[in-house]
Amino acid sequence: MKKYSNEHEWAQVEGDEAIIGLSVYAVEQLGDITFLELPEIGRDVSKDESVAFIESVKAASDIYSPLSGEVIAVNEALNDTPELLNEDATNTWVFKLKLCDANEANSLMDETAYLEYIATL
Amino acid sequence: MSELKRTSLYEKHKELGAKNIGFCGWDMPVQYEGILKEHKACREEAAIFDTSHMGEFFFEGNILFSGINEAVTVDLLTLPVGRCKYGFILNDKGGVIDDMIVYKADIDRLMFVVNASRIQEDFDAIKAQVHNGAFTNASDSTSKIDIQGPKSKEILEHLLHVRLDGLNYFSFTEADIMDTYGLISRTGYTGELGYELYLDNTAAPKVWDKLIKLGATPAGLGARDVLRLEMGYSLYGQELDENTTPLEAGLEYFVQYTSHFRGKEALEQQKQNGIPKKLIAFKTNSKRAPRHGFEIMQEGLNIGVVTSGTYSPSVASGIGLGYVETSKFNADKPIQISSERGSMPVELTTLPFYKK
């Protein structure tokens, strides 16, 4: 099950790991994505820390980690084909964390709450 | 914030599911299905743009004795009837109040097309030079649709039921556009074969619909900005403003010294003394884009600022324009652009970025 942050990242927790991606809403706001800088593997990140950035034809934006942990993998396919995110944001992960605290995900929104949140934006 | 103005095509954009933004006080479509798709449609087929937010002024009177020829850098006396020309309205310092296209419909009839954000300043500046003749602002009743791309001629010929073979670059003609009087020029802001249609607000929605039916793809301001930047065309408010002269912007070609115009002395003086800043064009070695406001660096020193930048689908890299201080800039040494996200090398290039 996906959980969402205020900054429009999703996290899918499995055990003490989580894959992180961007919400469909975030990708629609950015438009055609042209470039993605992925975080370094091995980097320790805190919740809400800027860890990567993304560029579209019209804008550039930071990507924030929705959870704390160590980056243990990145989706290398996005280096050459960042447009995968435009095609299917829900099923395209960006990076993978080894979590400090699996319970931290409880502070994130579930899909219903997130949809309510973006309706207010 | 005051209410955004809407063009005559506002409802059409809504029907098409456009994503709108506030642009110079107007509620304008930034994109419909996506900037890349719309960009491709323009380069390969035909795209249409709503540019009704732009301003149109009409002048009727004696060009030589009214003072109108002193208002712009185009020599309106030598401009042939049926032709239009790009140029500037300058302040006394030679700074650009606006860039514009002036159309000569007859020996005593002109139309000026100006940027939406500058309509009032432009009208006042021209009016101040004109001491007789009728000078009017028709911006609110005039719609403008640009059709651009290799198939634009074919589509427009179908719409008008006339051949456009005789309509050369920067020429125009009065025309019957779906039973309404309008004006069509062989001009545009994309570098493609294309036309700009001026027509009354009441006729614009049906012409828009018909152009789509004939195969044109609606495109928003997002694609328009990428297309113009690929050609290296300046955008007012970015490359041009009241503190920038056409010489600094590399646009002296569009200044006709044969006439006397406001700002001419300042330009002549700057020509003698040299320009303090100059516009440069550069590209990145990746898909990362320069952005407005990034610093331009050389040997660790800040030497200027990026005015426009985007990812260019036609060039397949980031492209940008910016101003550098002439005294600090060395064209033979490497430059970088930098922002809070770090620095990246860029390579100087010549315009247009997109060479066919």
Q: Which site among A28, A32, A38, A53 would you substitute to test the B interface, given the most B Cβ atoms closer than 10 Å to its Cβ? A: A32
Q: Which is more confidently placed, A121 or B42?
A: B42
Q: Chain A: nearest CA to B88, how far in angstroms?
A: 28
CA B258-B129-B95 angle, to 5 degrees, is 70
CA B130-B266-B88 angle, to 5 degrees, is 50
Pairwise CA distance, residues A93 & A22, whole Å: 8
- The answer to whether B263 and B307 have CB atoms below 8 angstroms apart is no
CA B335-B339-B345 angle, to 5 degrees, is 25
A55 shares contact with chain B (CB less than 8 Å): yes
pLDDT above 90: residue A59: no
- The answer to whether B310 and B224 have CB atoms below 8 angstroms apart is no
Q: Contact B226/A57, CB-based, under 8 Å?
A: yes
Identify the three-state secondary structure at position B202.
coil
Q: Which site among B221, B228, B287 would you substitute to test the A interface, given the most A Cβ atoms closer than 10 Å to its Cβ? A: B287
pLDDT of residue A55: 95
If residue B169 lies in a helix (H) or strand (E), which one and from where to where? Answer: none
Residues 6 or more apart in contact with residue B88 via CB below 8 angstroms:
B72, B73, B96, B97, B98, B99, B100, B246, B251, B254, B255, B263
Q: Contact A35/B311, CB-based, under 8 Å?
A: yes
Pairwise CA distance, residues A16 & B346, whole Å: 42
DSSP state of A53: E
Residues of chain B found within 8 Å of residue A53, distances taken between Cβ atoms: 341
Sole residue written with tokens 């006729």: B203
Write down the domain spans for chain B: 10-53+140-230, 55-126, 276-349
Q: Chain B: nearest CA to A53, how far in angstroms?
A: 9
Of A32, A34, A53, the CB nearest to B341: A53
What tokens were used for A6?
A: 């205020």
Pairwise CA distance, residues B38 & B127, whole Å: 38
Residues of chain B found within 8 Å of residue A55, distances taken between Cβ atoms: 287-289, 311
Phi and psi at B7, nearest 5°, equal -85, 170
Q: Collect all residues from B whose CB is shorter than 8 A from any CB in A.
A: 30-31, 34-36, 222, 225-226, 286-289, 291, 310-311, 313, 341
Q: Contact B311/A31, CB-based, under 8 Å?
A: no
- The answer to whether A96 and A71 have CB atoms below 8 angstroms apart is yes
- The answer to whether A78 and A63 have CB atoms below 8 angstroms apart is no
Say which CATH class B10-53+140-230 falls into: alpha beta
3-state helix, strand, coil in chain A (%, to 5): 25, 40, 35
Identify the three-state secondary structure at position A23.
coil
Residues of chain A found within 8 Å of residue B225, distances taken between Cβ atoms: 58
If residue B270 lies in a helix (H) or strand (E), which one and from where to where? Answer: helix B264-273
Q: At what angle do helices B204-213 and B152-160 cross, to 10 degrees?
A: 120
Residues of chain B found within 8 Å of residue A32, distances taken between Cβ atoms: 34-36
Q: Chain B: nearest CA to A82, how far in angstroms?
A: 10
pLDDT of residue A1: 87
Q: Contact A58/B35, CB-based, under 8 Å?
A: yes
Strands of A1-121 (E only): list them.
2-4, 9-14, 17-22, 33-37, 44-45, 50-56, 60-64, 69-74, 93-99
pLDDT tens, N- to C-terminus, chain B (356 residues):
568 999 999 999 999 999 999 998 999 999 999 999 999 999 999 999 999 999 999 999 999 999 999 999 999 999 999 999 999 999 999 999 999 999 999 999 999 999 999 999 999 999 999 999 999 999 999 999 999 999 999 999 999 999 999 999 999 999 999 999 999 999 999 999 999 999 999 999 999 999 999 999 999 999 999 999 999 999 999 999 999 999 999 999 999 999 999 999 999 999 999 999 999 999 999 999 999 999 999 999 999 999 999 999 999 999 999 999 999 999 999 999 999 888 999 999 999 999 98
pLDDT of residue B1: 52
pLDDT above 70: residue A101: yes
Which fold does the domain A2-119 belong to in CATH?
A: OB fold (Dihydrolipoamide Acetyltransferase, E2P) (2.40.50)
Rg (CA), chain A: 13
Residues across chain B:
356
Q: Contact B288/A35, CB-based, under 8 Å?
A: yes
Write down the domain spans for chain A: 2-119
Arithmetic mean of pLDDT, A57-81 = 95
Q: What is the CATH number of domain B276-349?
A: 2.40.30.110
pLDDT of residue B111: 98
Arithmetic mean of pLDDT, A28-55 = 95
Domain range B55-126, its CATH number among 3.30.70.1400, 3.30.9.10, 3.40.50.2300, 3.40.50.10860: 3.30.70.1400
Pairwise CA distance, residues B149 & B171, whole Å: 17
